[in-house]
Amino acid sequence: MSATCVSEPVSWLRLERYALGELPGPLAREVAAHLAGCPACRACLDRIE
């Protein structure tokens, strides 16, 4: 990550599953909420996509 995560970072595997739409609803919402406030994790997601 080029920036620092604002809280507990989302794992790379979880980000991959999120990008593929493979996370169950509650986990997907949790990741989406984290991504909304964390530029570092969004940057990681951008690299996956």
Q: What is the 3-state secondary structure (H, E, C) of the chain?
A: CCCCCCCCCCCHHHHHHHHCCCCCHHHHHHHHHHHHHCHHHHHHHHHHC
pLDDT at 5: 77
The domain ranges of the chain are 12-48
pTM: 0.84
**pLDDT tens track for 1-49:** 457 776 788 999 999 999 999 999 999 999 999 999 999 999 999 999 8
pLDDT at 8: 83
